[in-house]
Amino acid sequence: MARTGFSITRLPGFGAIAIATFLMLYIPILTLVVFSFNAQASMSQWGGFSLQWYEAAYNNRQVRDVSIRSLWLAVVASGIATAVATLAALGTTRTSRFPGQTMIYALINQPLMVPEIVTGVALLIFFAAIKVQTGYTGMGYLVAAHTAFCIPFAYLPIKARLETMDLTLERAAADLYATSFQAFRHITLPLLMPGILAGFMLGFVISLDTVVITEFVKSAGQDTLPTYMLGQLRRQVTPEMNAIATLFLLLSLCAVTVFFLLSRKRA
Amino acid sequence: MPDASAPPAGNDATAHSVSSPEGEIEIGRLSKVFGAGATAFRALDGVSLAIRRGEFFTLLGPSGCGKTTLLRLIAGFEQPSSGTLRIGGQEVAGLGPNRRPVNTVFQNYALFPHMSVADNIGFGLRMLGRRRAEVQSATAEMLRLVRMEELADRRPGEISGGQQQRVALARALAPRPRVLLLDEPLSALDLKLRKEMQSELKRLQAETGITFVFVTHDQEEALTMSDRIAVMNAGRILQTGSPEEIYNHPADRFVADFIGDTNFLEVELLEVAAAGARIRLPGGAALPANLPAGPAPAAGSCVTVVIRPEHARLADADGALAGTVERSVFFGTDTHVHLRLDDGSSFTLRRQNSAAAGPAPDPGSRVGIALAEGALQLLRN
């Protein structure tokens, strides 16, 4: 028998486990999507195809409000986070090594390491103090919290792109009489753009998706789509929630696809 | 080309006329140390050099000899640790690359991938704030000069390596710099294209009259293209001179060894005069030898002479040297005959192959070696 060495694909049961894993991952989501088209108000009995739950969701004023708030928050927070992350990436890749550089990486990536619930509680207490002092209860708290949370996700693709960029291009620009700002404006920024857009899309999805931090930070009447869905599910479950979740899923998939295409794009 | 289009870069036409034609670039005791303390590396060690206006000057040496560091110091990508550096009569130490009247052709070309060929070529002039019409006409002229008119709208990723090379040259020449720096620009090309680009570079230099400073580790490239060559090793310049001087009269063992094939012989120095020296070969024959530049060694001492293989020929038993043939290697136009001299040292001579030359000598046969007049070059100790 010709054995060329250890191969994981030839282990008994490998295929079966792989298929089972994929089924576990996607059957619940598929079920959710299928029942969003159910003509009955049941989550377990199929009563024929219908778009009534999509219609109900569309006509639900609250759903529209929280969706717009979620999108607005995601765009604003991810936009600020991307700008900050771009500067951070430039500062950590376009300078000579400095003492404490590893520390800076750790600080930038803090939200990746600190449990979300801890950040949520910390922000709740911290913002409560500020609210008492200033009386301000606007969206600023959510924007700040989401921005901080999105920065590392925006930072990683931007930094990855900067690191693969040919440094001699910036040198060539300087050689051809460009000032540092002109070199950045005409060479670095255009070449970095796919990374910046990818960072923005990733931050956008993360912000859209965040439940824990939003739940702790939001004031009354500041529900986002995920916290609204959570609140609704506590009361009563109708396929309207399936329809909302399906649309939400579609939006996320689009954003992730854009991110993926941008990350693959070569310089 | 009107002189007004020369890049301002911390300089102007006044300084141009004041500076001596001797020194377009004047380098005085220039050093560059990387790192500090125990890990410090002296990449450039007190180099002094004057590059003349309009010449094709080559920095030649093995990798790590400091030639690229010197080029980067001239371009402004690095700042010197000590010493002076003047371009067109003006001290440029402390000025960034965008404030110096020099442009670089990079080893990997470093073309801007998101711009068309034409936009790449016009970049320098745009950064200098030239008017659109002027940028366009200069770009068109450069495209014509490097014969790339048809590909003006392509991106760098859509053209071949040789074409990218031409665009890199055009981009660096478009602002009409005082000096063009070339960092091993031909090393990525295959042999045929390299030969083509060598004559192309010579043509461009003749047509533009710009001073070229060319860095290479390829001695043949240096010999065929340069007006003058500086041979570098370990952060120092060992010898500067025309290709003929460097090849025929190497002053240093490293220079002789790095450029071309060489025989080294230990000989006795009999006498030293202004015109030359007399030495005694191992076989006993006394012959004249050329002195190297600088202080001459004392008579009576043991010195090294260099003999190029093509300056020696097979003779009958009465040559200046005698030895035994070890083997002959056929190279087409010539044959290299490897010999063992009577004192035990090895010697190679090159024999032109022609219809009249006859067969190469058999291994083991005893032969004499005659040396051409002026073939012996004494080395500095």
Contact B106 A168 (CB under 8 A): yes
Contact A175 B96 (CB under 8 A): no
Whether residue A2 has pLDDT greater than 80: no
Report the share of chain B in percent with pLDDT over 70: 93
Provide, as residue numbers in chain B, all residues whose Cβ is less than 8 Å from the Cβ of A186. 123
Identify the pLDDT of residue A187. Answer: 95
Whether residue A21 has pLDDT greater than 50: yes
Identify the pLDDT of residue A40. Answer: 85
Q: Which of B110, B127, B171 sits opposite A168 (nearest CB)?
A: B110
Question: pLDDT band for position A3 (50/70/90)?
Answer: low
Q: Which of B108, B113, B124 sits opposite A176 (nearest CB)?
A: B124
What pLDDT digit, counting tens, does each position of A69-128 carry? 999 999 999 999 999 999 999 988 887 777 888 888 888 888 888 899 999 999 999 999
Q: Which of A173, A177, A179 sits opposite B7 (nearest CB)?
A: A177
**Phi and psi angles of residue B299, each rounded to the nearest 5 degrees, phi first:** -65, 145
For chain B, what is the mean pLDDT? 88
Convert B124-139 to b/e letters by CB count within 10 Å (16 or more is b): bbbbbebeeeebeebb
**All domains of chain A, ordered by start, with CATH?**
13-50 (no CATH), 62-263 (1.10.3720.10)
- CA-nearest residue to B112 within chain A is A169
Identify the pLDDT of residue B15. Answer: 37
A154 CA: distance to closest CA in chain B (Å): 23
| Position A229, amino acid | M
Which secondary-structure segment (H or E) carries B220?
Answer: helix B219-225
- Residue, of B159 and B365, whose pLDDT is higher: B159
Question: pLDDT band for position A266 (50/70/90)?
Answer: low
Contact B127 A173 (CB under 8 A): yes
Contact B113 A172 (CB under 8 A): no
Identify the pLDDT of residue A93. Answer: 85
Contact A176 B108 (CB under 8 A): no
Contact A177 B112 (CB under 8 A): no
Question: pLDDT band for position B12 (50/70/90)?
Answer: very low
- CA-nearest residue to B108 within chain A is A168
Residues of chain B whose beta carbon is less than 8 angstroms from a beta carbon of chain A are: 7, 9, 75-77, 96-98, 102-104, 106, 108, 110, 112-114, 123-124, 127-128, 171-172, 175
**DSSP string across B146-166:** TT-GGGTTS-GGGS-HHHHHH
What is the spatial distance between Cα A252 and Cα B75, in angstroms, rounded to a whole number?
49
A267 CA: distance to closest CA in chain B (Å): 7
Q: Would strands B179-183 and B102-105 be described as parallel, antiparallel, or unpaired? A: parallel
Contact A173 B171 (CB under 8 A): no
Mutate to test the interface with B, among A96, A164, A171, A175 (most CBs of B within 10 A): A175
Q: Would strands B25-34 and B41-51 be described as parallel, antiparallel, or unpaired? A: antiparallel
Report the share of chain A in percent with pLDDT over 70: 97
Whether residue A12 has pLDDT greater than 70: yes
What pLDDT digit, counting tens, does each position of B43-96 carry? 999 999 999 999 999 999 999 999 999 999 999 999 999 999 999 989 998 899
What pLDDT digit, counting tens, does each position of B270-315 carry? 988 888 889 988 888 888 999 887 777 788 888 899 999 999 988 8
Overall pTM surpassing 0.90 (yes/no): no
Provide, as residue numbers in chain B, all residues whose Cβ is less than 8 Å from the Cβ of A172. 104, 106, 110, 112
Identify the pLDDT of residue A152. Answer: 92
- Residue, of B294 and B258, whose pLDDT is higher: B258
- The verdict on A63 touching B (C-beta cutoff 8 Å) is no
- DSSP label at residue A185: I
B183 CA: distance to closest CA in chain A (Å): 12
Whether residue A64 has pLDDT greater than 70: yes
Provide, as residue numbers in chain B, all residues whose Cβ is less than 8 Å from the Cβ of A176. 98, 103, 123-124, 127, 171-172, 175
Mutate to test the interface with A, among B104, B119, B139 (most CBs of A within 10 A): B104
- The verdict on A184 touching B (C-beta cutoff 8 Å) is no
**DSSP string across B11-27:** --HHHHHHS-TT-SEEE
- Say if residue A259 is exposed, middle or buried (CB neighbours under 10 Å; 0-12, 13-18, 19+): buried
Contact B123 A168 (CB under 8 A): no
A91 CA: distance to closest CA in chain B (Å): 19
What pLDDT digit, counting tens, does each position of A137-168 carry? 889 999 999 999 999 999 999 999 999 888 89
| Position A61, amino acid | R
Contact B124 A174 (CB under 8 A): no
Contact B110 A171 (CB under 8 A): yes
- CA-nearest residue to A170 within chain B is B110
What is the spatial distance between Cα A177 and Cα B103, in angstroms, rounded to a whole number?
9
Whether residue B22 has pLDDT greater than 80: no
Whether residue B131 has pLDDT greater than 90: yes
B38 CA: distance to closest CA in chain A (Å): 19
Contact A178 B171 (CB under 8 A): no
The average pLDDT across A24-42 equals 90
Contact A179 B97 (CB under 8 A): no
For A238, the 3-state DSSP assignment is: coil
**Phi and psi angles of residue A122, each rounded to the nearest 5 degrees, phi first:** -60, -45
Contact B110 A177 (CB under 8 A): no
- The verdict on A186 touching B (C-beta cutoff 8 Å) is yes
B158 CA: distance to closest CA in chain A (Å): 13
The pair of three-digit structure tokens given for residue B357, joined into one six-digit string: 């030359």
Q: How many CB pairs under 8 A join A and B?
A: 61
**DSSP string across A187-227:** IIHHHHHHHHHHHHHHHHHHHHH--HHHHHH--TT---HHH
- The verdict on A177 touching B (C-beta cutoff 8 Å) is yes
Provide, as residue numbers in chain A, all residues whose Cβ is less than 8 Å from the Cβ of B106. 168, 171-172
Residues B305, B376 contacting (CB under 8 angstroms): yes
Q: Which of B9, B110, B127 sits opposite A178 (nearest CB)?
A: B127
A187 CA: distance to closest CA in chain B (Å): 7
Identify the pLDDT of residue B70. Answer: 96
The pair of three-digit structure tokens given for residue B22, joined into one six-digit string: 């001797």
The average pLDDT across A19-41 equals 91
| Position B315, amino acid | A
ipTM for the predicted complex comes to 0.81
Identify the pLDDT of residue A45. Answer: 84
Q: Would strands B179-183 and B211-216 be described as parallel, antiparallel, or unpaired? A: parallel
Identify the pLDDT of residue B3. Answer: 42
Contact A190 B114 (CB under 8 A): yes
**Phi and psi angles of residue A257, each rounded to the nearest 5 degrees, phi first:** -65, -45
- The verdict on A23 touching B (C-beta cutoff 8 Å) is no
Identify the pLDDT of residue A4. Answer: 61
Whether residue B375 has pLDDT greater than 90: no
**DSSP string across A48-101:** -B--HHHHHHHH-HHHHHHHHHHHHHHHHHHHHHHHHHHHHHHHHHSS---TTH
What is the spatial distance between Cα B4 and Cα B128, in angstroms, rounded to a whole number?
12
- CA-nearest residue to A190 within chain B is B114
What pLDDT digit, counting tens, does each position of B205-224 carry? 998 999 999 999 999 999 99
